[in-house]
Amino acid sequence: VVDAELDSPLPGATVVVQGSSSGVSTDFNGNFTINSDKSGVLVVSYLGYQTLEVPFTVGQDLGVISLQPSSELLEGVMVIASVAIDRKTPVAVSTIKATQIETKLGTQEFPEILKSTPGVYA
């Protein structure tokens, strides 16, 4: 199983006999062997590529199976963050100014700095 555009192998592509739970994954070179006692259809899939259905007969060498890259895009993800503000939330908040860190705690490691903050266990 190879990439149709780059002709490079697709290791880990899934190959399943349609209508059964019998399937395998391709090796590092895109090769696979699957045992079936009757003819049927192989469903070949790989993340980011279009799924391909390949008819086969028992003992047949399928040669090279080429998968086309899928042009479907995933929907965008919106990340929203908020910060607790002093005295405007029921959550305890401590604000440490950069000057305080430099003058009082400048030579200490970060976990040690957090230990001096009320309500923080580091």
Lowest mean per-residue pLDDT among 13-17, 87-91, 105-109, 110-114: 87-91
pTM greater than 0.95: no
For residue range 69-90, list pLDDT tens digits in order: 987 766 778 888 776 565 566 6
Domain annotation covers residue 105: yes
Same domain, 1 and 49: yes
Look at the chain and report how many structural domains it folds into: 2
d(CA 8, CA 71): 18
Residue 4: CATH number of its domain = 2.60.40.1120
Domain housing 44 = 1-70
